[in-house]
A and B are shown apart, each in its own frame.
Chain A
């Protein structure tokens, strides 16, 4: 039982299974812009540098016009700089119409400081009025965003995006959670120890 308590403590640190949330998002401003229309077959790619070693989710937002064909869909792909695909997801036209702010759950270990990118491929036979929201001003760039390309051509702004990372707990939080695990865990250990010793309790 004591071993189990210690194992739980180690899962907080050094294993780092419990992490705090770090949000890196574009500035909250009214000065948004959007890319050129995302024609059928076009590809838009946002490069970013990982701010932490665990990526929980990625969000980006589209701006929709009046024309939106049902067969239009967006394929999301998150990949490392070497091309290794981490996550793939499709967004249908209906989904986009309901909520143009898209969130993709990633939950993957990545390398802090290394470059990754997410790619949005527009599928369908006809071109819908669909644009990706971007932030033109440097001060509003989401931390880590380092290049937005539309069909291979670099754009001036960066996508209006939000990255939710998991980051290791700081020392104070580690000890705090250790103390919690200790309080509950050692109490349970005491119950099992008492049962072994045959000490009368409500359990026995």
Chain B
């Protein structure tokens, strides 16, 4: 009896130690993420988020997102944070970091429970510092939230299949609803999870569980109902596919975009590693339980399904498709790879850990450079604008919709789109011209209006792309 209790105590101590180790890792990585919250620049999308959240109340946000391509949950969460902590840029960055921290906590509990501490530790590292995932953990957008909700639903999928606790059903429901209300493309992996659960229950011939699944699906559908009409309307507005849009079907492009940190051939190597993992899963079939095997197989097939179907859906409407809409596929790649390689043998485990650590460090350096690389120049430009651009100055911009971005940097100014500019009305006035590619005054216009253009090259922000300032004077005659 004593021996038995001693054994339990040792096991409990080991479990506590492992959990403590993972918590320490999460705390350290949260600190690392915090080091990326002092950037000064925003890109177009971030400026859009900032504007939508700061200039609307909750009802206004719902109304505004009803005519946008993304659902409202993320903006509502951001609004709550802004209401409590203020509207500084780093508050917004924290709103994106928090789901990553939540995701790491979920991994520390559920991945550790199913796949062991080492797999959990590696996954926590990759969730925080993995290329692309790290970038979107600091981007003022909804993608880190989407990734967290899909990850939560994924982990709950396994719990629902293996455990009897009802709370897992509730969590699965909540994650599923939240994911779709954060980003529409979350629907794809969720659909696959539900099919997987259905097939598992069908195999076990459990009528009760199948009934529970039917109830869950109904609850999900009912919760989506309020937004389905809006979604259909958005699809209609979005219209036909954009002409000239390149339909990017290649997985190589996906890996090149999502695993890019500046290391040699990293994207191709990651792709080979991921595909090899599946081959090794089959070859080392005996090292995995039946449930582990089917779960990893489901994740791999889910990756393939989401990768192709999302692009196909993306090509059906007018809004462009980006791989960030399926950011969860990157998480799938990491889960499949780490779960398999950590299990094979100690040398493989060690090699894979080194691989992931280097990729994480490299990912951090590249995101650090992109966050802070232009800070000095931007401070310089901000000072220039404060000193030279009067608060009632008119600014002309030549890239459609980019007033959204410029308004963030120069609030309160009047922005005029190049196509709407009437030089006749500007006679005797001086205005600023923000050059960001796009159109410029023709030689004929310059001659006809005797435009006096002063080039302020060197002053500009980065964001989407660096722009340049010119001061244009239109003489009276």
Q: Residues of A with Cβ closer than 8 Å to B?
A: 18, 20, 169, 172-173, 175-184, 186-187, 189-191, 199-203
Stretch at the interface among B20-28, B193-201, B318-326, B339-347: B339-347
Residues A202 and B344 in contact, CB atoms below 8 Å apart: no
CA distance A175 to B357 in the complex (A): 11
Task: State which residues 236-295 of B face A: CB under 8 Å.
Answer: 263-266, 269, 272-273, 276, 280, 282-286
Q: How far is the CB of A124 from chain B (nearest CB, A)?
A: 42
Which are the 5 A-B pairs with shortest beta-carbon distances?
A182-B351, A179-B355, A179-B354, A186-B347, A183-B351
The reply on B362 being an interface residue by CB < 8 A is yes
Chain B residues, Cβ within 8 Å of A179: 351-352, 354-355, 358
Given contacts A182-B351, A183-B348, A190-B344, contact A200 B264 (CB under 8 A): no
Question: Known interface pairs A173-B263, A176-B359, A180-B273. Does A202 touch B347 (Cβ–Cβ under 8 Å)?
Answer: no
Q: In the complex, which residues of chain A have a beta carbon less than 8 angstroms from the beta carbon of B264?
A: 18, 20, 169, 173, 176-177
CB pair B350 A182 closer than 8 Å:
yes
Instruction: Given the known inter-chain contacts A177-B264, A179-B352, A182-B351, please indicate yes or no for A187 contacting B345, CB distance below 8 A.
Output: yes
Determine the distance from Cα of A35 to Cα of B5 in the docked complex, in whole angstroms: 91
**Contact A184 B286, CB 8 Å, known A173-B263, A179-B352, A190-B345:** no
Residue of A nearest to B287 (CB): A201
Instruction: Beyond A176-B355, A184-B276, list 12 extra A-B contacts (CB 8 Å).
Output: A169-B264, A172-B362, A176-B263, A176-B266, A177-B265, A178-B354, A180-B272, A186-B345, A187-B280, A187-B284, A190-B344, A201-B284
B contact set with A: CB distance below 8 Å: 263-266, 269, 272-273, 276, 280, 282-286, 341, 344-345, 347-348, 350-352, 354-355, 358-359, 361-362
Let me know if A187 and B359 touch, CB within 8 A.
Answer: no
Residue in B269, B285, B348, B361 whose beta carbon sits within 8 Å of that of A190 in the complex: B348
Cα distance, A18 to B344, chains bound together (Å): 27
Q: Which residues of A lie under 8 Å from residue B285 when comparing CB positions?
A: 201-202
Q: Is the interface of A mostly helix, strand, loop or mixed?
A: helix
24 A-B residue pairs with Cβ-Cβ distance under 8 Å, sorted by A, are A20-B264, A172-B263, A172-B358, A173-B264, A176-B264, A177-B269, A178-B351, A179-B352, A179-B358, A180-B269, A180-B272, A180-B273, A182-B348, A183-B341, A183-B348, A183-B352, A187-B341, A189-B347, A190-B344, A190-B348, A199-B286, A201-B285, A202-B282, A202-B285
**Which residue of A187, A190, A199 has the most chain B CB atoms within 10 A of its CB atom?**
A187
* Other-chain residue from A175, A187, A191, A203 in contact with B354 (beta carbon distance below 8 A): A175
Q: Tell me how many residue pairs across A and B have CB atoms closer than 8 Å.
A: 78
Q: A173-B263, A201-B285 are in contact. Are A186 and B358 (CB under 8 A)?
A: no
Whether the Cβ atoms of A187 and B348 lie closer than 8 Å is yes
Provide the residues of chain A in CB contact with B350, threshold 8 Å. Answer: 182
Known contacts A176-B355, A190-B345, A190-B348: A183-B263 contact under CB 8 Å:
no
Q: CA of A175 to CA of B266 in the docked complex: distance in angstroms?
A: 12
Residue of A nearest to B263 (CB): A176
Closest Cβ neighbor of A183 among chain B residues: B351
Q: Which residue of A lies closest to B280 (CB)?
A: A187
Contact B351 A186 (CB under 8 A): yes
Q: How far is the CB of B129 from chain A (nearest CB, A)?
A: 14
Q: Which residues of A contact B351 (CB under 8 A)?
A: 178-183, 186
Distance A178 CA – B283 CA, assembled complex (angstroms): 23
Instruction: Please state if B355 and A184 are interface contacts (CB–CB under 8 Å).
Output: no
Complex-state Cα separation, A203 to B284, whole angstroms:
9
Interchain nearest-CB distance for A201 vs B (Å): 6
Q: For residue B283, which residues in chain A have a CB less than 8 angstroms away from its CB?
A: 191, 201-203
Report chain B residues within 8 Å CB of A183: 273, 341, 348, 351-352, 355
Q: Are B276 and A187 in contact (CB under 8 A)?
A: yes
Cα separation A172 to B354 with both chains bound (whole Å): 11
Q: Report the Cα distance A191→B362, complex, angstroms.
A: 31
Nearest residue (CB) in B for A202 is B285
From A176, A190, A191, give the contact of B358 (CB < 8 A): A176
**Cβ contacts under 8 Å, A20 to chain B:** 264
* A180 neighbours in B (Cβ, 8 Å): 269, 272-273, 351, 355
Are A200 and B263 interface neighbours, CB within 8 A? no
| Nearest B-chain residue to A174, judged by Cβ | B264
Nearest-CB distance from A92 to chain B (Å)?
35
Question: A98 to chain B: closest CB distance in Å?
Answer: 26
